[in-house]
Structure 1
Amino acid sequence: MFFLATGQDRQGNIVEYFGKEKVNEINEGKLFHVFQKGLAVKVQGRAPINFPKDQVFDKFLNDGSYNPSAGDIFDIDGRGDAMKWEAISVDSTSSFSDRSLRSSFVYLSFTSEKEKIVLFEASGHSVALVNGFPHEGDHYDFGYSLIPIKLKKGLNTFVMKVGRFPRIRARLIEPSAPQLFTSRDMTLPDILNEESMQYLGGIRVVNSSEEWIKNSSVKAALEGKSDGLRLGLIDLPPLSVTKIAFRTPTIGGLSEEEALINLDLIDSKGKSLAATEVTLKVKSKNDYHKRTFLSEIDNSVQYFSVTPTTEPATENQALFLSVHGASVEATNQARAYKKKDWGTLIAPTNRRPFGFAWEDWGRIDAMEVLAEAKSIYKPDPQKVYLTGHSMGGHGTWYLGATYPDHFAAIAPCAGYPDLLEYRNSFTRRLRTMNAEQLKRFGMTPEMVAEMSNPPALLPMDAMVQRAGNPSRTLKIKRNYLHLGVYILHGEKDNVVPTFIAQDMRKTLGEYHNDFVYYEYPDGTHWYGDHSVDWPQLFDFFKARKIPETSSLKKLEFYTTSPGVSASSHFVTIQQQEKPFELSSFNFNNEEGFTIDFENTATAELDLSSFESVPETIVVNDQEIKTGSAKKLVLKHVDDKWEIGSAAPKSEKGPHRNGGFKDAFRNNVVFVYGTKGSAQENDWNKMKAMFDAETFYYRANGKVEVIRDTDFSAATYKDRNVVIYGNSDSNGAWKALLKDCPIQVETGKVVINGVTLSGKQWGSYFVYPRQDSDVATIGVVTGTGLAGMKATYPNHYMVNGTSFPDFTLFDSSALQIGLDAIKCAGFFGNDWSMETGDFQWK
């Protein structure tokens, strides 16, 4: 956490500090300006999840001349009260800090004598507009925010939305060099002295110049003992901060407790642009430690923490996947457990301490770590278990339901199964508060009443929310039949109210016959190590195994998207009939092989695990001759089931099934357009940079951002691509989207032959790369500057939000939210609109 304060050095001199650093000893440069005065306006109301209303940013985005003064009335709120800009000043820690700042926006300004490149460092805000362009904030107060900007000569404006805490800090730093490393937020491994191997790390590079640094890489060398190694090449955009991966030389057999690694930023000609040193801890693999790996989401370096077994060999032991709570680091999660003599515990990161509540990219991170750990520790494949606390308790409910055949048993501790249910529990608590108590949450009794009685969903709202069905854990609750379930909850938990666990006990009691419910006497949300490391919980695990497929007599499985979860044991639901609605199969082999499907267009049966393949199976009451084939593809055509061939990779399937968020994986690259007007080009670029900043902050991510002129299909083969701009402004559009039924150009959008004119239209959509069997194209587009500004929110990088394959909206989105949507829906399995499901307004 970074804050400005005063203290004394060893000589007794008064020194100002910003966090742990002296103000004039900043690693990245020297202090240029600390913001001391500003304005604030309070905006009541809770934003919708998908399309948040944001009238303050809407004003600054669309009126470059707007420059408020103290006492100016910004607007009139719903109660008829004036929303005034109030003068604010910093406290003794140079923070704008007051409870009244909840639900507020802060306006800061700086007049520069000339154009100048500085680093904008701020914290406590969820997002910022700097001279009218959006930038990711530091709402968790990590102290990571460091954004190179070019000050204009004259007035420069900074508008910041207050984040989780009613405290804002901001300053400008003069960078010490055009390119430099920053030690903030490194991802580093532990060196294990029993192993001889290369290690992966991640460090951020600041490019504070206005030049592209092409084909750069980081060379890492063990000080004085080995030559350096370089990992990959990456282009660094002007005025950017990018987290770059590095790989050490092979290291082993060190006797020291630390190893010093020299890092050099190397350009395409082999010249060193920046240098630094990082220290790696040397540990025994028998101690608590961290391991790093390269994620397939974005080719970034991630880590997981390990609580090793007390036994020398890990093969054929158990493996415990433990998912952490909000604000908890994976290292602390692992240390909450004592070592076991019968298994290894691994704790993934969820991509951040807050991350994605183990959904979306947090879900992928957990499954990547599970696969990585299986390859390292080679556990008994039938002895894999899942547990977690608080948000990790939610992750346990969610991952267990989503991937039920991956685990023998699950143990949610202080968890909630569904994000919406947890929010509803917050509403239930708000209803017990008086007006003064509600004020602390930025709420009023009227707002609580509105939340308690939401209006019925309109067809458009229902279509958008349908994309969020993979987050509706209780829709697939019968998947818990695969698993033993141990529910552990504190008797007096007021963070995740105990009634949520009691509700799940009642729910499971209606159909499940293998679960335990334990309410820890007098336990609050956290009551010491027993909150997670509860002996009876692990005894419950020890008595259960994942069943062999060949032994199964009954099996049920449910999913709302094959792109999230498609399989259980020997059955894969490849395609749905109605996208993102509940699909299922119900298998029974007690008196003959029968299987019933719901909302399934194509499914695959892998019968190779069975001793003998039945010559006849019954599918939805229809007999099918198998021909004793080990693998069968079943297709539902004209209300009949038949054996067919697998759907071509060009169609939807588990490999790419849509939903706009699906674009942000598979080593995604952001491509912004440079062929439009100067203003359009600036917006294309800054929106791509904003999304990259957000993915870095929320997901510890690394996304390449490139110009359309630098994109080639061969260079970025089989990688997902997100295009910013339209067919006129982005040169990569015609190469990637020429056959797409949605075409967006300056002044109009054509949707399967329907033309809408005007420059106010914005859209998010996905479409398959025609030159790839696996890659997806995401599109952030507008028919003009107004349309592109309407795409400003990037809530598609927030867990719990829902975005279909296609969403079209107009420039009123920041004023009226979801009501601005004109069309939304899902492509069919052949990626056509004719076979899809779309809602128009």
Structure 2
Amino acid sequence: MVRKLSFILFLFYVSSSITAQQRTGNIVEYFGKEKVTAIEEGKLMHVFKEALMLHVRSMRFNSSTFPEDPVFSKILMNSEYDPNEGDVFDVDFTGEPMVWKSISVDTTNSFNDRDLLSSYVCLKYKSNTEKNVLFDASGHSLVLINGMPHEGDHYDYGWNLIPVTLKKGWNMFVLKVGRFPRIRARLIEPKTDVQFTTRDLTIPTILIDEPIEFKAAIRVINATNDWLKGYTIKAHWLGKEVYTDLPNIPPMSIRKLPFSLGALGSNKETGAYELKLNLFSKDKIDLDEKRIPLLGKSKHSHHKRTFISDIDGSLQYYSVAPSSNDTLANGALFLSVHGASVEAVNQANAYKQKDWGNLIAPTNRRPFGYAWEDLGRLDALEVLSDAKRIYQPDPQKIYLTGHSMGGHGSWYLGATYPDHFAAIAPCAGYPDLLLYRDMFLKRLSNMSEEQLNAFGITPKLLKRMQLEPQLNPVETLIERAGTPSRTLELIRNYLQQGVYILHGEKDNVVPTYIARDMRERLGKFHPDFTYYEYPDGTHWYGDHSVDWPPIFNLFKNRLIPKQNDIDDMEFFTGSPGVSSKSHFVTIHQQEIPFEVSSFKFTKGEEIYDLKTENVSMIEIDFSALDNLKNHLVIDNDTLAVEGNDAFLLKKVDNNWEKVASPSLKEKGPHRNGGFKDVFKNNVLFVYATKGTDEENDWYYNRARFDAETMWYRANGSVDVIRDVDFSLSKYPDRNVVLYGNKTNNAAWNTLMKNSPIQVKNNEVDFNGKKLPGQQWGMYFIVPRNDSNLASVGVVTATGVKGMKAAYMNHYLVNGTTFPDVLLFDDEVLLNGTSAVKCAGFFGNDWSVENGDFEWK
């Protein structure tokens, strides 16, 4: 049974990992490195020095798909709730009262208290007038500002700014404390309503020997109640000017925007350049100016490259340790994935240049990012594709390695895309997040009571954490959506690769027994793996923690096989939408969605033999093979092979039949669900404007909240538009997240008229089953009917209670599991995933009738 990963356990992992790597002073970029020491955006208006704190140690440790949140529940559902010192919020699981207590800042203007872990902080500010300001805080995972949710600054980067309209009178800010027991908060009066902020720039290395267009990205603050339309950035450097037209920026928001620097021109000198940026309004008024340093280097030295992501149109970067051979052609390509808190640029810098290949280090979308799953997985694939375009490597010489969280990424990406890599080398890695979670429970069990208290864990709470949760059928189905992340379920995919496992003998962050466990597992079936424990090595023991020569020696002797040389092949997947193929065989559809599917291919003397499990449609591309056989035996059916085209087979009444081509209107690798699948394909957020003022405000804030989260967690840049501005022709073939319902979102009928699920005020119509009431909330995904590629994800509710129950956006958090459909009510805020009323997957034809649903 899949078990849950708790917040404190993950906190423990991050804290331990950072401590171990900081001791080396090597590839870690410290949290404080990019702190803002002066307020470039305006004038300091107020520093919060007094607050109320509520410690909530009775929170259960369950799946974060719907985390329990009694504090936000009370504030969201009761707009009059106003805590004061000494107020009892509730009683915890020991019967002790949970009391709001006063807390003050230290000499650094930080609220700093061990009890802040698993706590909430309430700040209050009285304004004499209504005015627009910037809320600047760090150390929190979420904040409710006058009842509206906003993204936090979990990692204490000091990047987060939120434009806020202070109402006249008292304003309340309730912060959920993040990974460290420290909170800072202040209000800033903006120097101007529209301006740049240089917090969180993305800047490429200027390559003096490449005639390419360079792109960078900067955030633009809109602290007005109006849309910014027709704005322009002018980049001025080396005597030339390059203009970039900006997309529309919503009211009271900040968006990170790519802009062009143009090509370098005739200047070919290494060293420092100065970039002058100006922001112009539609009327050509110069609103702001920034001067930003650039660095010119040769492409033959370590450098950063940027590219526009197909996921959301944002600008991403990756770092390169290029080959030391300046004339290398068709060399090797090494994909190196970083650990938690490590910047990609520092990951690449940890490697010496190789004479036989180029090394690339993607970002995972952020130093913590997505543990190389979800959007981190897509980032790795985008970077690999871009690097192949640039470096034109030998297609048989592609390799994968990484350290710590990147070691996990190596295990995960290697299992998920086995035909992409000739060999993989996980360093200090854990194969599966759940296996890592078990390690922490074991480690906590060996701690003293004093040590546990340092993490806010009592012995009684530890016992609760160790209990195997009893899942109801709905929860079990929800967790099934996480099958693609169950790396150990895909372990036989490693047969397609050489494997080198490197681990420190005395690693106390990812304990060595995890690597020994993988050695034992692989030893039962894998003929080509190497295991090495670095003597006395801890989690990080210098550059050899990643740049270990025997790894690259193994790589030199491994090739991705040519397709015609493959006589035997096994492949396993949790979803065709995540990984569908290996070499010339593609799984298009499953019988049971998000259970493991597999095939085993064997080339015999006279026949091809193909055995499948949980597969309903499969394709073989015979054009990749020479010396064609006469017949294909698939399971128990024998079919004649004619020609060398793609051979598509569908299971009908338990028999395999050849079919002409897959229907793109059905599920397949191009569009398969679950709900998280909507966050790609240049995703667009469309919010409701046709409801009541409360509905409109809520859905706008919800779309803006998700855009804030995409920026913070994924370095994203999402288009957010009004429903009345959406049209099929203006935004073709793009995924859409629709906020609202049929009553209040004007784009609903355009995008959702054929959906088997309809939602309007006071009613859910679930394929004819009608559920009245204004307490329902839903997340679900359906195909966009005017497109063979795009999907529509729906964040919807039947009324105010349902809207507020759906406030959380954990579908943008890695490790959470979301099937195609989730139906819930306001009870989830108090009882979490166990309170979800219905979950399921549509059938391969996107119908409810042929789907797999559980009801509570």
Shorter-chain TM range is over 0.9
The aligned amino acid for 2:200 is D
Instruction: Name the structure 2 match of 1:755.
Output: 770
CA separation in 2, counterparts of 1:381 and 1:418?
A: 28
- Can you list the C-alpha shifts for 1:299-321, whole angstroms capped at 9, x where unaligned? 10000000011101232111100
Instruction: Name the structure 1 match of 2:198.
Output: 183
CA separation in 2, counterparts of 1:359 and 1:590?
A: 37
1:448: Cα distance to partner?
A: 2.0
Instruction: Name the structure 2 match of 1:242.
Output: 255
1:435: Cα distance to partner?
A: 2.1
Instruction: Name the structure 2 match of 1:831.
Output: 846
Instruction: Name the structure 2 match of 1:359.
Output: 373
CA separation in 1, counterparts of 2:805 and 2:406?
A: 34
- Select which of 108, 130, 151 maps to 2:145: 130
Instruction: Name the structure 1 match of 2:729.
Output: 714
1:267: Cα distance to partner?
A: 4.0
Instruction: Name the structure 2 match of 1:816.
Output: 831
Change (3 A) 1:160 1:265: same
Instruction: Name the structure 2 match of 1:700.
Output: 715
> Retained in 2: the 8 A contact 1:31–1:174?
yes
- Select which of 758, 761, 767 maps to 2:782: 767
> Retained in 1: the 8 A contact 2:35–2:158?
no
CA separation in 2, counterparts of 1:49 and 1:633?
A: 39
Q: Does 1:452 align with 2:446?
A: no
- Taking the TM superposition and a 5 Å limit, the aligned residue runs for 1:558-707 are 558-591=572-605, 592-707=607-722
- Can you list the C-alpha shifts for 1:436-484, whole angstroms capped at 9, x where unaligned? 2111222222222222231333211110001111111111110000000
Aligned with 2:277: secondary structure? strand
Aligned with 2:514: secondary structure? helix
Deviating more after overlay: 401-410 vs 615-624: 615-624
- Select which of 275, 294, 298 maps to 2:308: 294
- Can you list the C-alpha shifts for 1:545-590, whole angstroms capped at 9, x where unaligned? 0010100110000001011000100001011111111111100114
- Select which of 159, 173, 194 maps to 1:144: 159
Q: Which has the higher contact order (CA 8 A, sep 6+)?
A: 2
> Retained in 2: the 8 A contact 1:110–1:156?
yes
Instruction: Name the structure 2 match of 1:153.
Output: 168
Q: How many residue pairs are counted as aligned between the two chains?
A: 821
CA separation in 2, counterparts of 1:211 and 1:687?
A: 18
> Retained in 2: the 8 A contact 1:314–1:379?
no
Instruction: Name the structure 1 match of 2:384.
Output: 370
Aligned with 2:218: secondary structure? strand
1:271: Cα distance to partner?
A: 4.5
Q: Does 1:112 align with 2:127?
A: yes
Instruction: Name the structure 2 match of 1:59.
Output: 74
Aligned with 1:248: secondary structure? strand
Aligned with 2:711: secondary structure? helix
Instruction: Name the structure 1 match of 2:324.
Output: 310
- Select which of 411, 419, 422 maps to 1:408: 422
Change (3 A) 1:237 1:83: same
Unaligned runs of 5+ in 1: 1-16
1:538: Cα distance to partner?
A: 0.8
TM-score, with structure 1 as normaliser:
0.96
> Retained in 1: the 8 A contact 2:608–2:633?
yes
Aligned with 1:811: secondary structure? coil
- Can you list the C-alpha shifts for 1:574-625, whole angstroms capped at 9, x where unaligned? 1111111111110011433111111111111111121132221111131101
Instruction: Name the structure 2 match of 1:38.
Output: 51
CA separation in 2, counterparts of 1:151 and 1:810?
A: 31
Instruction: Name the structure 2 match of 1:439.
Output: 453
- Can you list the C-alpha shifts for 1:398-427, whole angstroms capped at 9, x where unaligned? 000000000000000000000111111111
The aligned amino acid for 1:623 is T
Task: State the superposition RMSD in angstroms.
Answer: 1.4
Q: Does 1:508 align with 2:515?
A: no
CA separation in 2, counterparts of 1:632 and 1:47?
A: 45
Instruction: Name the structure 2 match of 1:519.
Output: 533
- Select which of 229, 233, 240 maps to 1:214: 229
Aligned with 2:366: secondary structure? coil
Deviating more after overlay: 721-730 vs 274-283: 274-283
1:221: Cα distance to partner?
A: 3.1
CA separation in 1, counterparts of 2:465 and 2:661?
A: 46
> Retained in 2: the 8 A contact 1:314–1:378?
no
Q: Does 1:384 align with 2:384?
A: no
> Retained in 1: the 8 A contact 2:471–2:834?
no
Q: Does 1:28 align with 2:41?
A: yes
1:256: Cα distance to partner?
A: 5.0
CA separation in 2, counterparts of 1:634 and 1:518?
A: 44
CA separation in 2, counterparts of 1:64 and 1:108?
A: 16
CA separation in 1, counterparts of 2:153 and 2:668?
A: 37
1:48: Cα distance to partner?
A: 2.8
Instruction: Name the structure 2 match of 1:496.
Output: 510
Instruction: Name the structure 1 match of 2:496.
Output: 482
Q: Does 1:336 align with 2:342?
A: no
Instruction: Name the structure 2 match of 1:424.
Output: 438
CA separation in 1, counterparts of 2:273 and 2:788?
A: 43
CA separation in 2, counterparts of 1:372 and 1:642?
A: 38
Instruction: Name the structure 2 match of 1:541.
Output: 555
- Select which of 390, 394, 404 maps to 2:408: 394
Aligned with 1:690: secondary structure? helix
The aligned amino acid for 1:828 is G
Q: Does 1:226 align with 2:219?
A: no
Aligned with 1:772: secondary structure? coil
Aligned with 2:241: secondary structure? coil
Instruction: Name the structure 1 match of 2:4.
Output: none
> Retained in 2: the 8 A contact 1:119–1:175?
yes
The aligned amino acid for 1:549 is Q
1:67: Cα distance to partner?
A: 1.2
Aligned with 1:830: secondary structure? coil
CA separation in 2, counterparts of 1:469 and 1:75?
A: 37
Instruction: Name the structure 1 match of 2:795.
Output: 780
- Can you list the C-alpha shifts for 1:175-208, whole angstroms capped at 9, x where unaligned? 1111100000001100111112210111100001
1:249: Cα distance to partner?
A: 1.7
Aligned with 1:744: secondary structure? strand
TM-score, with structure 2 as normaliser:
0.94
- Select which of 95, 99, 103 maps to 2:110: 95
Aligned with 1:682: secondary structure? helix
- Can you list the C-alpha shifts for 1:521-551, whole angstroms capped at 9, x where unaligned? 1110001111111111111111100010100
Deviating more after overlay: 434-443 vs 85-94: 434-443
CA separation in 2, counterparts of 1:383 and 1:447?
A: 50
Instruction: Name the structure 2 match of 1:14.
Output: none
Unaligned runs of 5+ in 2: 1-31
> Retained in 2: the 8 A contact 1:36–1:89?
yes
CA separation in 1, counterparts of 2:476 and 2:81?
A: 37
Deviating more after overlay: 126-135 vs 445-454: 445-454
Instruction: Name the structure 1 match of 2:759.
Output: 744
Q: Does 1:172 align with 2:209?
A: no
- Can you list the C-alpha shifts for 1:316-355, whole angstroms capped at 9, x where unaligned? 1111000000000001100111111111100000000000
Q: Does 1:797 align with 2:828?
A: no
The aligned amino acid for 1:235 is N
Percent of paired sites with the same residue: 56
1:215: Cα distance to partner?
A: 3.9
